[in-house]
Structure 1
Amino acid sequence: MVSAIKRFLIGRPLKSTELGEQKLNKTKALAILSSDALSSVAYGPEQILVVLITVSAAAFWYSIPIAMGVLILLLALILSYRQIIFAYPHGGGAYVVAKENLGIYPGLIAGSSLLVDYILTVAVSVTAGTDAITSAFPSLHEHNVIIAIVFVVFITTMSLRGVTESASILAYPVYLFVLALFILIGVGIYNILTGHVSAELHTSLGTPVAGISLFLLLRAFASGSSALTGVEAISNAIPNFKDPAPNNAAKTLVAMGTLLAVLFSGIVFLAYYYGITPTGGVTVVSQIAEQTFGRNFMYFFIQGTTALILILAANTGYSAFPLLAVYFAKDKFIPRMFTIRGDRLGYSNGIIVLGVLSILLIIAFKGKTEHLIPLYAVGVFIPFTLSQTGMVVKWIREKPIGWISKLIINTTGALISLIVTMMFFLTKFTQVWPVLVFLPIIIFVFYRIRKHYESVGDQLRLANREPAVPIEGNVIILPVAGITHVVENSLNYAKSLSPHQIIAVYVPFEREDEAAFEEKWHKWQPDVRLVTLHSPYRSIINPLTKFIDTVQRKAGESNYQVTVIIPQFIPKKGWHNILHNQSSLLIRAHLLYRRNVIVTTVPYHLEK
């Protein structure tokens, strides 16, 4: 039943030889890996206006120069990450760049920030998409969290089906969104040029505004830069591209940057010219669409595609998080299970963990996009800064042909990213302070995981250990609770290993039970030694383990190995287990952590 449901949800297993078929072409990669960046057009411009409105609506004209600053940063990041793609064609992005050029800890900071950011990508994208839906249908507002969780489960399931299949399905909404916004921007500009939009709706560029300050403008710039989150995803996911992967990734990155620049600047311009004021419950894109088309088919088409891309932007996280987790796992900073491919050749453990953590985050923040975006943005600008700085160090150290121009590009990107990061901490400290707490904790945990793996490797390495002492024979201890087929089955197995060194152990709670069992045993198995351990306190574990310790000490003097064979019957139906006391499981769990004792379970399967 479970297997049938799994096959229905994620499809048939794929052979390892089919891995090449799971690579993405540029068209699908642009949709999947750019959806995060493109979707931020739906809330990036709004974040600028949210800051400017604190002065007055007259300050909205500043959104135009601020948007130009964001586009300059976008250009610097696109050029920088294009260089990273060719310099590090195997992927890893900011984590690999920072680790190799700045050191292990800067690499951990960059990589950890990105891992957390991809979790936030899913949470922010889905909650923002839910907001777009509830903007069109206000009666659904109170169900935001449930709706968001349902979408996370859906995208997680789609991602488990494999990169290619999910890309084939999810690409359509992304391109529909791009088409919808191009239509919106085109019609909006046409209405402006033909005089259908009153010039009185906005203040003219350059109008003096009381209360404006450089600090506030930088704060608005930092908020607007949240539209650039997701730019780095392509550099992390180079292995997902068809060959030649670096060339295809670089072309996709440029295409993404071009689309993002056009859509972002278009929405900012329309919001300014229409005099749009951000209000709770109705997004800026929704207001622009309503003023441009009214509440007709085109309005709902734009809202529908916006909601879809915001939700599906989470797929960028599902594409990049598992791959980044693989790099961490290979460097022994997180569990090795993240390097294992699932039935559909994707890194399913990373996908499932990402989905679960995103749901927890949505619940913790009650589905409030505005509370998640500052954390989301600062989480990506930290690795932006570190990756650009790492590339600066790389060019200065290696000095390849044309390194001066590359150095200027990365230096510009590093400085602007640093300014944006600092502005987030200065202006939104009450919202982003968790980064300063959780990031060190995550890095410490990663460090401890690596120390554990190094310790395990050192202990398992033959060259570092003394040769094992040869085992002369086995002393087998067989705990028994009665004379049954289960015990008989285990006893036969024990005799096959060491017929003359078997000790059956019975733990009675009453003296009369002890005498009666001894009599039955000697009639049934006179050649097998029986030891009874009376337990007045009704404990099986304590007297049994004390006896095992005693035997083990004596056996160790003769280089004999103590093996405890535990009989266990297996019910035909799983739920039958709750009807039995599971003593064998408790004994096994207790003995597994005792040194120099081998624990073996001999199952006896019931037929009905």
Structure 2
Amino acid sequence: MAFSVKRLLIGRPLKSTEINEQKLSNVKALAILSSDALSSVAYGPEQVIIVLATFSYLAIWYSLPIAFGILILLTALVLSYRQIIFAYPHGGGAYVVSKENLGAKPGLIAGGALLVDYILTVAVSVSSGADAIASAFPVLLPFKVEIAVSFIIFITILNLRGVTESANVFAFPVYLFIFAILLLIGTSLYKIVTGAVPPEAEVSVGTPVAGISLFLLLKAFASGCSALTGVEAISNAVPNFKDPAPANAAKTLAGMGTILAIMVAGITFLAYYYGIVPSATETVVSQIASHTFGRNIVYYFIQVATTIILVLAANTGFSAFPLLAVNLAKDKYLPRMFLSRGERLVYSNGILTLAVAAIILVFLFNGNTEHLIPLYAVGVFIPFTLSQTGMMVKWMREKPAGWVQRFLINTTGAIICFIVTSMFFITKLNQVWPVLIFLPLIVLFFDRIRNHYLAVGDQLRLCPDEPAKPIKGNIIIVPVSGITRVVENSLIYAKSLSPDLIIAVYVGFTKEETKKFEEKWKKWQPGIRLVTIYSSYRNINGKLGKFIDMVNSRAMKANYGVTVIIPQFLPKKGWHNILHNQSGLILREYLLHRKNVVVSTVPYHLKK
């Protein structure tokens, strides 16, 4: 039953040779890797206006030069990540760049920040989508958490089905959103040029605003830079592109940057031209659409497209998180399970880990993750700053042809990203302070994992100077609970291994019961030594453990091994297992951690 459901949801297994068929074309890659960045148009420009309007409505015109500054940073990031794509075609983005050029610790900070950011991306995106649905249908308001979790499960299943299948599903809504926003901007500009819409801005560009400070402008700039979250995702996912992967990834990054720049510039200009005032009940995009089209079908089309893209922004996390986890796992900073591809040739462990973490976050914050958006943004700009700085170091160290121009691009990006990151900490410390705690903890977690793998490697590595010490013989211990076919099956196997050194052990709860068993044993297996142990407290595992430890201690001195053979019967049907106490499995787990003791289970398969 479970197998059939899995096949229905995920599909048939794919051969390893089909991996190239799972590579993304540029059109599909743009859809699944840019949804986070493109969706930020729905709230990035609005964040700038909110900060400025809080100070004074007259200051809103500053949104235009601030948007210009954001576009400069976007250009620097696109050019920088384009260079990263070609320099590091195996993916990894900010983590790989920071690790190789700045050192392991900066790399881990960048990697840890991005992993957390992708989890926040999923949680924030699906919660925003749930809010939009609940706003349209208030009866669903008590079920926001369930709706958000349903979105995560749906996106998880699609990603588990494979990269190309998720791209097939997500491509249409993403391009629908791009069309909707470009339609909004194009129609509005046409009406403005033809004079159909008079300007409603009350303040002209350049009007002095008394009391405004550089600090406030930088705060607005930092808030607006939330529109740049997700720009790095393509550089993390280069291996998912069709060959030549770096060239295709670079083209897709350029396409995403161009579309994002047009959208940010267009929405910011229209918000200023229409004199949009931030509202708690209506978004800036909604107000612009209302001014341009009125409350007609086109307006609702734009709103629906915006709502869908906010949900699908979560897919960027599902695309980038597993590949970043792969790079960390290759360097032994994450468990090796993240290196394994699933039946559909995707890194399913990374996908499932991200889904579980995002679901936990949604439940912890009851679907209200708005105050996590600053964390979400600062989690991106820390890696932005580190990756730009890392590329500066790379060009200075290697000095390839044309390195000065590349160095200047990265320097510009590094300075701006550092300013943005600093402004987040200065102006939103009450919201972003957890970063100062969880990032060191994540780095410590990474180090612990790596130290474990290094220690395991040292202990498993063969040393020619230290040949293994041969074992003289093997003592077989067989715990028995009665005289049955299961025990007989195990004794036959034990005799095949060591017919002269077999000890059967029986733990009795009463002296009468123990004596009766001894008498039956002598008649049934007179050639095998039986040791009986009396336990007045019915502590089978404890008594067996002490006896095995005693035998093992003596065996080690004589250079003998100890093997414990556990008899176990297996029911014909799986659900029959719940009708039995599984004492064999419990005993096996109890004994596994003892040195010099081999634990072996001999199954006896029931036929009815």
Do residues 305 (structure 1) and 305 (structure 2) align? yes
Partner of 1:97: 97
* Larger deviation, residues 583-592 vs 101-110: 583-592
Q: Is the 8 A contact 2:127 2:368 kept in 1?
A: yes
Show the counterpart of 2:166.
Answer: 166
- 1:559 Cα deviation (Å)? 2.3
The answer on 1:179 being equivalent to 2:166 is: no
CA positional deviation for 1:208 = 3.3
Deviation at 1:488, TM superposition (A): 1.2
Identify if the C-alpha distance between structure 1 residues 79 and 385 changes in structure 2 by more than 3 Å, giving closer, same or farther: same
Q: Establish whether residue 419 from structure 1 lines up as the match of residue 427 from structure 2.
A: no
Superposed CA offset, 1:461-496 (max 9, x none) = 012883222122221111111111111111111111
Structure 1 residue 561 displacement after superposition: 1.3
- C-alpha deviation, 1:351, in angstroms: 0.5
Map Cα deviations across residues 396-415 of structure 1 (whole Å, 9 max, x no partner). 11111111111110000000
Q: Bigger CA drift: 490-499 or 419-428? A: 490-499
Q: In structure 1, how many angstroms separate the alpha carbons of the residues matched to 2:495 and 2:245? A: 60
Letter of the structure 2 residue corresponding to residue 125 of structure 1 = S
Query: Quick check: 2:84–2:93 contact (8 Å CA) kept in 1?
Result: yes
Q: State yes or no: 1:115 paired with 2:115.
A: yes
User: Cα 1:300–1:464, aligned 2, differ >3 Å: closer, same or farther?
Assistant: farther
Aligned to 1:208: 208
What is residue 296 of structure 1 aligned with on the other side? 296
Q: Secondary structure at the match of 2:124?
A: helix
1:333 aligns with 2:333: yes
1:222 aligns to what? Answer: 222
Task: Give the deviation of 1:215 after TM superposition.
Answer: 1.0
In structure 2, what is the Cα distance between the partners aligned to 1:362 and 1:456? 36
- Matched position secondary structure for 2:503: strand
Amino acid at match of 2:34: S
- 2:362–2:369 CA contact under 8 A, matched in 1: no
Q: Which residue of 2 aligns with 1:49?
A: 49
1:547 aligns with 2:562: no
User: AA paired with 1:184?
Assistant: L
CA contact (8 A) 2:122 2:315 kept: yes
SS state at 1:533 partner: strand
- Output the amino acid matched with 1:342: G
Q: Which residue of 1 aligns with 2:266?
A: 266
Q: Which deviates further from its counterpart, 77-86 or 436-445?
A: 77-86
Q: Which range moved further: 573-582 or 265-274? A: 573-582
Structure 2: 5+ residue runs without aligned partners?
A: none
Q: Is the 8 A contact 1:156 1:352 kept in 2?
A: yes
Per-residue deviation, residues 512-558 of structure 1 (Å, max 9, x unmatched) = 00111011111111111111011122211222122112212222233
Q: Tell me how far 1:216 sits from its aligned partner.
A: 1.2
What do residues 273-325 of structure 1 show as CA deviations (whole Å, max 9, x unaligned)?
Answer: 22222333432212222232223221221111111111112111111111110
Tell me: CA distance 1:464–1:260, structure 2 relative to 1, closer, same or farther (3 Å). Answer: farther
Q: CA deviation at 1:443?
A: 0.5
Give me the whole-angstrom Cα distance separating, in 2, the residues matched to 1:545 and 1:54.
71
Counterpart residue identity of residue 598, structure 1: V
Return the alpha-carbon distance in structure 1 between the equivalents of residues 487 and 501 of structure 2. 17
Query: Counterparts of 1:85 and 1:93 in 2: how far apart (Å)?
Result: 8
Distance 1:336 1:276, change over 3 A: same
2:522 is aligned with what amino acid?
H
Cα distance between partner residues in 1 of 2:134 and 2:72: 34
Work out the CA distance in 2 between the residues paired with 1:140 and 1:159: 27
CA distance in 1, matches of 2:262, 2:54: 27
1:152-551 matched pairs, under 5 angstroms: 152-463=152-463, 466-551=466-551
Deviation at 1:135, TM superposition (A): 4.5
How far did 1:602 drift? 1.2
Query: Partner amino acid for 2:340?
Result: I
In percent, how many aligned pairs have the same letter? 69
Question: 1:129–1:306: 8 Å Cα contact kept in structure 2?
Answer: no
DSSP-derived class of the 2:434 partner: helix
Residue 566 (structure 2) pairs with residue 566 (structure 1) = yes
Are the equivalent residues in 2 in contact too, given 1:41–1:227 (CA < 8 A)?
Answer: yes
Determine the C-alpha separation between the residues in 1 that align with 2:336 and 2:292. 53
Q: Point out the more displaced range, 360-369 or 475-484.
A: 360-369
| Inter-partner Cα distance in structure 2 for 1:141 and 1:207 | 44
Cα separation, 1, equivalents of 2:3 and 2:484: 35
C-alpha deviation, 1:393, in angstroms: 0.7
The question of whether the paired residues in 2 share the 8 Å contact of 1:135 and 1:283 is answered with no
Deviation at 1:244, TM superposition (A): 1.0
Contact 1:458-1:464 within 8 A present in 2 as well: no
Q: CA deviation at 1:570?
A: 2.0
- 8 A contact 2:200–2:274 mirrored in 1: no
